[in-house]
Structure 1
Amino acid sequence: MGNAGKTTNSDWLRRSLMTLVQAGGGGERASNHTAFVVDQLGRAIVAGEYPPETMIPLDPDLCEMFGVSRTVVREAKKTLIAKGLIQSKAKVGTHVRPANEWTMFDQDVMRWHATVKNPTRFYEELFEIRMIFEPAAAAQAAARTNRIACAQLYELCDDLARADSRADFALADYEFHKEVLRLSGNRFLQSLGDLVQTALYSLFLSDQGAALSDRREKVAQSHRAIVAAIASGAPQEAREAMRRVIQDGYWNAVPEKAALL
């Protein structure tokens, strides 16, 4: 499916999705102790177990809680500080920073948001930001791209239509949107691929819509409409087709929103 050379981001998404469909759903402890502590604390903070401005447990307590050394705890805290989730002050301790100061474009921070119990607001924010840049990327691609350059996009549409599992479907979807960003020719737009990846990962987690077999061809057709517009050099049509795809995906993830329309 797609290019022979997979990117690191694609590999990350594949591992994440495969973990979810395996027995245990990712409950096993990570082999890297620091990564394990970062993941557990990060999830807890995003889930609100440690509200903003409250203190997280002291290092000795964290060592006992996770069964790790102080070195591991210190490294984990450094990582969470870099992600904007916590702040450490000498003789005071380590407290959780306000949510509006978190690094939301960080891959882990977005992933943690996708796994909270009621992530509706997170989906809304993802929907809003995707509606800003992805239709623009599709329009830009239409202004730059010829039919030959769209061959990969058509192949990925076929992958969507014949996906045997939700994981394969999500991967094909991610590769499609990443390719549109690449075809835009804008490096800033291309760098937003991580955001698309996490958005699709979160939609995969929340999928409450029809069975995959009932909708994969419909989704593939809506994606083919994007490709047709890009291949025809029709920026406005490409923009609108991308808007419809993103909106449909959002409604499928948050069906109560669609019911209000």
Structure 2
Amino acid sequence: MVVAKAGVPRSSERLHTAIARDLGVAIAAGEIQPGATLSGEIASSAERSVSRTAYREAVRILAAKGMVESRTRTGTRVSPRARWHILDPEVLGWFLQTRPSEAFVRDLFEVRMLVEPPAAAMAAVRRTPAQLQAMGEALDAMDRHKLSTEPGRAADRAFHDMILAATQNEAIMALSSSVGAAIRWTTLFKHRVQKAPRDPMAEHRRVLGAIAAANEAAAHACMTELVRFALADMQASLAAGA
């Protein structure tokens, strides 16, 4: 049986959420392997000095994300990786709070490449004047605050969210939380391991210019370039972090 080390909850975080995060990070990092059985509810709650109810709720969060499964008599086991909801925003965050593997980063950016360039092309012909204005304001805020700050990172996510919204496609818009989480956590990772990561403002401005010009092909190409540069930046950060 495995007992994950207890973490310290953030002040704004509920106890069961903090426990789920600690366990989720340990599982994502490979400290607790698929097939491992977690210690029982009584032992785990005692180890962490928390109520059984809080620990039980944490396990339910992990189960809802496909990371563990609880069965009578056999206990709670870590599920095979194929069952994990990898694109869940919280699961992405747990992966990227550790040092993610190059394969995981590649997979993540391949998803971005499948979604964002076509979305930018669609946005170029479907966006409304209000959406275009919101994109411009988001980039102005990103440039003003910089990606080293939370307001700057929030503005970056707002820009990408607005592009997905401008497709006017509900199915694509539903991907915004996953895409936004990938952008947020990879940006945080880059700034955590590098003192001065490359500024990606130029690529963002080119994407906005193509969308403003209603040029589908250019919007697709510019977003493709943006994602490629972002992947290269992340790979450089992985190398620096190593």
What is the TM-score normalised by the length of structure 1? 0.80
For the Cα contact (< 8 Å) 2:69–2:78, is it kept in 1? yes
RMSD: 2.3
Equivalence for 1:74: 56
Alignment of 1:186 with 2:169, yes or no, is yes
Equivalent-residue separation in structure 2 for 1:85 and 1:200 (angstroms): 22
For the Cα contact (< 8 Å) 2:45–2:52, is it kept in 1? yes
Deviation of residue 147 (structure 1)?
A: 5.5
Give 5+ residue unaligned stretches, structure 2: 1-6
Alignment of 1:139 with 2:121, yes or no, is yes
Equivalence for 2:97: 115
Amino acid corresponding to residue 160 of structure 1 in structure 2? M
**Could you list the per-position Cα deviations for residues 121-152 of structure 1 after superposition, in whole angstroms to 9, with x for gaps in the alignment?**
32211100000011011000112236664122
Deviation of residue 166 (structure 1)?
A: 3.1
Equivalence for 1:92: 74
| Residues 54 and 201 of structure 1, relative CA distance in 2, 3 Å threshold | same
Equivalence for 1:158: 140
Alignment of 1:231 with 2:205, yes or no, is no
Alignment of 1:211 with 2:193, yes or no, is no
SS at match of 1:162: helix
Equivalent-residue separation in structure 1 for 2:10 and 2:141 (angstroms): 33
| Residues 71 and 148 of structure 1, relative CA distance in 2, 3 Å threshold | closer
Equivalent-residue separation in structure 1 for 2:220 and 2:103 (angstroms): 25
Equivalence for 1:175: 158
How many residues matched?
229
Equivalent-residue separation in structure 2 for 1:142 and 1:53 (angstroms): 47
Alignment of 1:200 with 2:183, yes or no, is yes
Deviation of residue 186 (structure 1)?
A: 0.7
Equivalent-residue separation in structure 2 for 1:66 and 1:79 (angstroms): 17
**Could you list the per-position Cα deviations for residues 162-202 of structure 1 after superposition, in whole angstroms to 9, with x for gaps in the alignment?**
22543232111111000100111111111111112211222
Deviation of residue 29 (structure 1)?
A: 4.4
Give 5+ residue unaligned stretches, structure 1: 1-25
| Residues 203 and 65 of structure 1, relative CA distance in 2, 3 Å threshold | same
Deviation of residue 62 (structure 1)?
A: 0.6
Equivalent-residue separation in structure 1 for 2:221 and 2:44 (angstroms): 50
Alignment of 1:247 with 2:228, yes or no, is yes
For the Cα contact (< 8 Å) 1:143–1:230, is it kept in 2? yes
Amino acid corresponding to residue 58 of structure 2 in structure 1? A
Query: What does 1:46-85 correspond to in 2, within 5 Å?
Result: 46-85=28-67
Equivalent-residue separation in structure 2 for 1:230 and 1:167 (angstroms): 26
Equivalent-residue separation in structure 2 for 1:113 and 1:92 (angstroms): 27
Structure 1 range deviating more: 112-121 or 246-255: 112-121
What is the TM-score normalised by the length of structure 2? 0.86
Over 3 Å off, 4+ runs: 26-31, 146-149
Equivalent-residue separation in structure 1 for 2:222 and 2:110 (angstroms): 16
Which structure has more RCO (C-alpha within 8 Å, separation ≥ 6)?
Answer: 1
SS at match of 1:254: helix
Equivalent-residue separation in structure 1 for 2:238 and 2:51 (angstroms): 46
Deviation of residue 27 (structure 1)?
A: 4.9
SS at match of 1:56: coil
Identity %: 30
